A and B are shown apart, each in its own frame.
Chain A
Amino acid sequence: MSMASDVSTGAPRFHLSKDVQQVLYRLLATGLICLALSIATDAFFTANNILNVLRQASLLFFLASGLTLVILTGGLDLSVGANIGLSACFAATVIKATGSPALGTLAGLATGLVVGICNGLMVAKLRIPSFIATYGMLWVLHGITYYYMAGESIHGFPPGFRQIGSGYFLGIPIPVYLMVIFLLAGTFFAQRTVWGQQIYAIGANPVAARLTGIPVNRRLILVYAFSGAMAGVASIVFLARLNSAEGDIGEAMTLPAIAAVLIGGASLFGGVGSVFGTFIGALILTLVLNGMNLLAINANWQPLVTGFIVVFAVWLDMYGRKKT
């Protein structure tokens, strides 16, 4: 809310007390879940499982970090999951055709980026409400991907490429390093750059942002482009991990990604949230799903639990607003 005024006065860029409080609550929740799981099952507190959780969280985080910026502006990107599918399939095709993982990676990232820019143009220029524009985009992408793949799958990639998803460096999975890099870069961008602060300002009060002279449309296109590009990143890591591309590869990831952002403390009304919060959100959600796995709970319960968590997180946000 008061982020907009921060920009103009040059005051400290985040409210230490409240932000730190929020982060502490979430870290506490993370700790409690870990504690509960360590007690409930022997399999949880093993190096292997912890690394596994981190690797799974990293995939979710790539997607959710881009989405965070979109939600900070008060928008939503429902097409991220479908975007992964299309980007992964295009990347796989290029790798197969040229034998070059670098070109394939580039193709995946470019696909994600182009989709994101289209979303941004629809929202900023055509003034279509973001949730419905990206919802339409979701089905367009689904259609293209399913048509393109025709039920086939592409598999078997060079070992070097697969390292991105399943390799280790110093005993830690490579996606985890990528997650840390994106976490630092994303946090720096959102908290310490003018563009990042303008994104907060747009979400807090779009009209004021426009009047302050912030190029709102260009920033909006930027966040959707960023969200698309991060879906591209996720698709590459996913592809390298699964060693196989299918049309429905990212389908089930949209809801968890949104959940991660909301658990992380972002508000759907814009202006509130952080990339670091989303990181913790991704961690919490992954821990819960991992714990359900370890406790041998049928995987069919996962969407139900994720759905419940989404609603609960939004309710917490609404409840917090009412009180203040």
Chain B
Amino acid sequence: MSDQALPTRSAPRLPSIPGVAIMLVALSMGFALASPGFLSAGNLSNILVQSVILLLLALPMTLIIMTEGLDLSMGAVLTLASLVLAIIVVSTKSLLLGLGGAVAVGVAFGLVNGWLVSTLAIPPFVATLGTLGAAQGLALIVSDGQSVVGIPRFVRQVYSGDVMGIPTPVLIGAGFYALFHVLLYHTRFGTYVCALGGNRDALTLAGVKWRRLLISVYALGGAMAGVAALLMTARMNAGHPTAAIGMEFDAIAAVALGGTSFERGNGWIFGTLMGVLTVGILRNGLNLMAVPSSVQVACIGGLVIFALFLDSIRGAKS
């Protein structure tokens, strides 16, 4: 792992108050008391499975936010990729081609995002808001506003199948989590990503082509949206032109709850995992209590603002 001369970053120390851990435990206890079905094995496995799509988006979003960036287009790109995947799979019956198409769409949008942010120096939230509009428009155009149905069974298996009793999505999620952990903490790329947010000048001085690096971070986000599109399509058994609209918000929420800072470039990949589970548990628990989805969104919005408030206090202290 550390065959390079660079000092590799080991997993960072826990922040003084891992607020997200407290939130996670408190929420779980609250829901366990409020609804008896919450702690059943079936439901817990459900939470994990349902959180995987979010995790696939939140992992690269962590890296993007660490570079002091943001990707608002992820939900729309996921939607578009899911439609492309559905169309390809329905017509060619090939899962690989479909996945390839979805990832290609994601990477294309990621490259555009990265190019706008790095080369043209457009503030990320506006650049990706623009590409959000583009992806949303394209999603409506390729689908003509209709759902793409007739997804073959082998695609659905990706979401509903299991390997030795462990649901396939959970395995996929675990695999990508491990990948991102290694990528961020044990590779040169990860070290550079940390520096992108914290100290870009140092990178320039070190002779690193940081623009290219930044583009690849956004491209990675797009690629992951493509992978998530596979699970999304398999889960919904259709491609739908508004399927994942707003999904980027859950991802940003998970990253913010996980303690990654929007302003200082320090991120915590395990925190993101806990943030994802917090959002997943919140949605699941509120579902069990028959709280409408709209209220869930408002709750998550409130939580995010609270998390950001805590972050800004921490920032003021340090």
Contacts and interface: CB of A to CB of B under 8 A. Distances in A.
Interface of A: 76, 78, 122, 126-129, 131-133, 135-140, 142-147, 150, 255, 258, 262, 268, 298, 300-308, 310-311, 314-315, 318
A139 B249 contact: yes
Given A135-B249, A301-B141, A307 B131 contact: yes
B130 A140 contact: no
Contacts of A139: 246, 249, 297-298, 300-301, 304
Interface in B112-130: 116, 120-123, 125-127, 129-130
Interface stretch (B84-92, B95-103, B207-215, B288-296): B288-296
Given A132-B308, A268-B123, A314-B122, 9 more contacts: A131-B70, A132-B125, A143-B294, A143-B297, A147-B298, A255-B132, A268-B126, A307-B134, A310-B129
Nearest to B144: A300
Given A143-B298, A298-B141, A300-B137, A133 B129 contact: no
B299 A143 contact: yes
Contact of A258 (B116, B126, B298): B126
The 5 A-B residue pairs with the shortest CB-CB distance in the complex, in nearest-first order: A143-B298, A307-B133, A304-B137, A146-B294, A140-B301
| Dominant SS among interface residues on chain A | helix
B26 interface: no
A131 B304 CA distance: 13
A17 to B, nearest CB: 26
Given A298-B141, A307-B132, A128 B308 contact: yes
Contact of B140 (A131, A144, A255, A300): A300
Given A126-B309, A133-B308, A143-B296, A307 B121 contact: no
A150 B291 CA distance: 12
A318 B115 CA distance: 14
A89 B234 CA distance: 36
A258 B132 CA distance: 13
B294 A142 contact: yes
B302 interface: yes
B17 interface: no
B288 to A, nearest CB: 18
Chain B's interface size range is 35 or more
A147 B294 contact: yes
A137 B301 contact: yes
Given A122-B305, A301-B141, A310-B130, A127 B312 contact: yes
A251 to B, nearest CB: 10
A133 B305 contact: yes
Interface string B135-149: 011101100110000
Nearest to A142: B297
B137 A302 contact: yes
A307 B295 contact: no
Interface string B262-301: 1100000000000000000000000000001111111111
A59 B162 CA distance: 53
B134 A303 contact: yes
Contact of B138 (A129, A142, A146, A304): A304
Contacts of B292: 146-147, 150
Contacts of A127: 312, 315-316
A292 B132 CA distance: 20
B252 interface: yes
B294 to A, nearest CB: 3
Given A129-B262, A136-B304, A136-B305, A308 B299 contact: no
B298 A142 contact: yes
Contacts of B262: 129, 132
27 contacts: A126-B312, A128-B309, A128-B312, A129-B262, A129-B308, A132-B125, A132-B262, A137-B301, A139-B249, A139-B300, A139-B301, A140-B297, A140-B301, A142-B297, A143-B296, A143-B297, A144-B294, A147-B298, A255-B129, A300-B145, A301-B141, A303-B134, A304-B137, A307-B131, A308-B133, A311-B116, A311-B122
